[in-house]
Amino acid sequence: MFANGEEFKAAFLKKLEMMHGISFSESTKREQFQTLGTMVRECVSSDWIKTNEQYRTLRQKQVYYLSIEFLLGRLLRQNLMNLGIEDAVRNGLDSLGIDLDELEENEADAGLGNGGLGRLAACFLDSLASQGMPGHGCGIRYKYGLFEQKIIEGYQVELPEQWLRHGHVWEVRKADASVQIPYWGRVESYWENGRLVFRHLDAETVTAVPYDMPVIGYHTDTVNTLRLWTAEPSRYMDSGDVLKYKKETEMISEFLYPDDTHDEGKILRLKQQYLLVAASLKSILASYKKQNGSLLDLHNHVAIHINDTHPALAVPELMRVLMDEEGLGWDEAWHITWHTLSYTNHTTLSEALERWPVHIFQPLLPRVYMIVKEINERFCHSLWEKYPGDWKRIESMSVIAQEEVRMAPLAIIGSHSVNGVAKLHTEILKEREMRLFSQEFPDRFNNKTNGITHRRWLLKANPSLSSLVSESIGEDWIEDTKELERLLKFKEDNGFLEELSRIKAVNKERLAKRILEKNGIAVDTHSIFDVQVKRLHAYKRQLLNILHIMYLYNRMKEDSGFEFFPLTFIFGAKASPGYYFAKKVIKLINTVAEKVNTDPQVNDRLKVVFLENYRVSLAEEIFPASDVSEQISTASKEASGTGNMKFMMNGALTVGTLDGANVEITELVGRENIFLFGLTAEEVMEYQKNGGYYSHEYYHHDKRIRQVTDQLINGFFPDTENEFTAIYDSLLSHNDQYFVYRDFASYADTHERIGKCYSDKESWRQMSLFNIAKSGYFSSDRTIKEYAGQIWNISSHAKK
Ligand code: 26Y
């Protein structure tokens, strides 16, 4: 590619002139970034073509990962690193007086996702390509990414995230691969050659146009594809209100998760889901047919994965294509469909279980609805034969009930594999949430504990730690992260441990600098950086964290002898725009921050920072600079968590409940290397089932709790009259659904332990080392190998 800096420099200058028609001295940083990005993309195009050719000629089984979210973040440095040309490029740019890191700042995060589920999809793409596996992503190219968050007077304000404003250098528009997607209209059926044939008439058609992005593997020549669809007006529209149609069409790929409190929003979401599914299936089948394979054999050559229920329409849509377009009978089509599809569940929260009112579903997707109905009738019939008279069971398992189409049953029935994302989560699915289904299809249910790509989250985000690791145990860990365990031999090695702390200190300095720039707060880098970054949600209990900080503050004010290690609490979180409670918690965090940070009495020992607009690129600075990782969800509620793994890999110690993948972190590092507290999942579920929890009792019996709760409403924070009533009510009037009070004492005690432990530098460093060494299990390479071997039945082709 570019053997050295000189070669790169010459090519860069030429490209800059050609692309922008200006000389280097006149060019802006953005033009330089676009030039570099385009060069990199062009560089990989021959490998991209070759990869596809190879897949075709070897007729390798392909997997397509359908996801409504892909939270990619920035791609420039990841791509340079994976191609192995970062040094050459950096040197070449240096000689032109350009700093690569500064150039990177011109790349907008591709934030086509909300949180964990979308970031997991991005990590999976990296692991597939890096392990030379034939796996591709299919998603939507939203015009606006997840909103940009501004904090104004402590409140979250949402701005549109215009990530495409200056174009996206990594994508290629493939207009010739566009497909037509029909909505609305009616279905006509008639007999033809002894078969009943269905035709969708009077439909409103939308053109789905794909944009392809190369997914570049680490040090391999595999380049897979992420195909993102946009909705554009179709040329075939010849009557009606053209402007209205154009607007409605473009809306489909404008925003991620449009507000669905009204029917209009629901229609839009369902249109999005169908666009993703119908367009992806069309292009998948077109490419399969090019190989001349028989459709009856589809499932042996193609695997299609449904990431949560959002793409579950793949079940009826694949049936529709196989029957209506390919002429197969129901039984043949059904066999192929469920053997081709597999489904991952990411959450057990009831509000995330998708259901669509029939009065919306049926008119919007008339033929698809007929097929859903038939799937349901056949399924219910089979249940009736097995459990005659057991209406309750049949009703609770059916796909259509109470005038709603339920997407989870549809996904389960139509897939050969259903997986949870951590051991505990899968157990809860099998034993509780999906118990009847797991009794019905015991072989389908399985666990695939999540992972993260260590290439982005360690190699790229924390180059100094990566170098230390490589200098100490060689580079094999990059290929096989289990090798990180070899670090354990440095447990008593003072030189190594010193170096570990030095690296953490430098990373903390960098984050402190950003905090000073952005928030105007000077934090002490010798204090413990205690961090909670994730979506804001009641079950994740940022509230427990901030109430505990209020208690610490009170204690400091009242008790001059109160001794504790200086602390910097750092938060980052976006709240869903319509989520009132979550927004109040953001306001509370900022209100507490204001009070604490301006109080000279506590100031050199306690700071609270809310970093606005938490996103992938910011996360890459935060994880390497953290000492303590807050993973404090109400047990049983967090399916897995993946931030917990990123902290661990960067040497932070977890304070957490036994929830999600925290359970597996504990199994790996042992209880002595993690700070556990609070109720277990079983205890929580027991309370939920049989009652017995009264938050008032905790309020009355624990002075600390009473004091911080009263402070929410008693004027303790100036000018906040009624501001926190919703929080106050959630704790007392609504009996504290997430057991914040119940876990408070245990959380506070655990924090005391953390402070003491941190003062013992040597043992802290050892614990940190232990966590890094054991984190290899959480590489998404391991997760993807499990999916590949146990669900998709795909294999990798030779690496370079
Ligand atoms: C309401 C509906 C449309 C919906 C929208 C977004 C439902 C779910 C989601 C997103 C869920 C999600 O991100 N779940 C997270 O998935 C991660 C990856 O598996 C888990 O680590 C994490 O625990 C889980 O909350």
Q: Give the pLDDT confidence of 533-570 residue by residue, as tens digits.
A: 999 999 999 999 999 999 999 999 999 889 999 999 99
pLDDT tens string 393-451? 999 999 999 999 999 999 999 999 999 999 999 999 999 999 999 999 999 999 999 99
pLDDT at 796: 87
pLDDT at 237: 59
Mutation to probe ligand 1, out of 308, 351, 536, 540 (largest number of atoms < 8 A from CB):
308
Cα–Cα dist 331/319, whole Å: 10
For residue 102, the number of C-alpha atoms closer than 13 Å in the C-beta half-sphere is 9
How big is the chain by its Cα radius of gyration, in Å?
27
Q: Which helix (H) or strand (E) holds 570?
A: strand 567-572
pLDDT value at 598 more than 50: yes
On average, the pLDDT of the chain sits at 96
CATH no. for 44-73+109-450+785-792: 3.40.50.2000
pLDDT value at 236 more than 70: no
Read off the pTM. Answer: 0.97
Q: Which helix (H) or strand (E) holds 66?
A: strand 62-66
Q: Whose CA is nearest to atom 5 of ligand 1?
A: 352
Tokens 């009065």 locate to 359
CA of 116 to the centre of ligand 1 (A): 6
Tokens 């050459």 locate to 88
pLDDT value at 721 more than 80: yes
The token pair that represents 754 in the structure block: 């953390």
pLDDT value at 238 more than 70: no
CA of 347 to the centre of ligand 1 (A): 6
pLDDT value at 744 more than 60: yes
| Catalytic annotation, residues | 346, 534-535, 540, 642, 646
> What mean pLDDT do residues 245-260 have?
93
pLDDT at 150: 98
Mutation to probe ligand 1, out of 117, 424, 453 (largest number of atoms < 8 A from CB):
117
Q: Which residues of 281-311 are buried (b: 16+ CB within 10 A; e: fewer)?
A: bbbbbebbeeeeeebeebbebbbbbbbbbbb
Q: Give CATH superfamily name and number for 470-679+741-777.
A: Glycogen Phosphorylase B; (3.40.50.2000)
| Helix pair angle (76-83, 86-95), 10° resolution | 120
Cα–Cα dist 48/174, whole Å: 15
The CB of 346 under 6 Å from ligand 1? The reply is yes
pLDDT at 6: 84
SS3 call for 207 = strand
Closest C-alpha to 568, from 602, 605, 594: 605
pLDDT value at 754 more than 60: yes
pLDDT at 240: 74
Same CATH topology for 44-73+109-450+785-792 and 470-679+741-777? yes
CA of 120 to the centre of ligand 1 (A): 10
pLDDT at 158: 97
Cα–Cα dist 387/135, whole Å: 40
Q: Which span out of 10-19, 239-248, 656-665 was modeled with the highest average pLDDT? A: 656-665
pLDDT at 241: 86
Which residue intervals of 651-694 are DSSP H helices? 662-669, 681-690
Cα–Cα dist 172/349, whole Å: 38
pLDDT at 229: 98
Cα–Cα dist 611/189, whole Å: 58
Phi, then psi, of 324 in degrees rounded to 5: -75, -35
- Identity of the amino acid at 137: G
Which residue intervals of 441-579 are DSSP H helices? 454, 463-473, 476-479, 494-519, 542-558
* Domain assignments of the chain as residue spans, ordered by start: 1-43+79-108, 44-73+109-450+785-792, 470-679+741-777
pLDDT at 788: 98
The CB of 635 under 6 Å from ligand 1? The reply is no
pLDDT value at 589 more than 50: yes
> What mean pLDDT do residues 36-52 have?
94
The pLDDT confidence band at residue 720, using thresholds 50, 70 and 90, is confident
CA of 89 to the centre of ligand 1 (A): 37
pLDDT value at 257 more than 90: no
Q: Which residues of 424-459 are buried (b: 16+ CB within 10 A; e: fewer)?
A: bbbbbbbeebbebbbebbeebbbbbbbbbbbbbbbb
SS3 call for 524 = coil
- Comparing 346-360, 378-392, 588-602, 649-663, the range with the smallest average pLDDT is 346-360
Would you say 273 and 313 are in contact if contact means Cβ atoms under 8 Å apart?
yes
pLDDT tens string 123-143? 999 999 999 999 999 999 999
> What mean pLDDT do residues 750-754 have?
98
The CB of 659 under 6 Å from ligand 1? The reply is no
CA of 562 to the centre of ligand 1 (A): 41
pLDDT value at 800 more than 60: no
The CB of 116 under 6 Å from ligand 1? The reply is yes
The CB of 171 under 6 Å from ligand 1? The reply is no
CA of 36 to the centre of ligand 1 (A): 34
The CB of 641 under 6 Å from ligand 1? The reply is yes
pLDDT at 797: 72
pLDDT at 798: 55
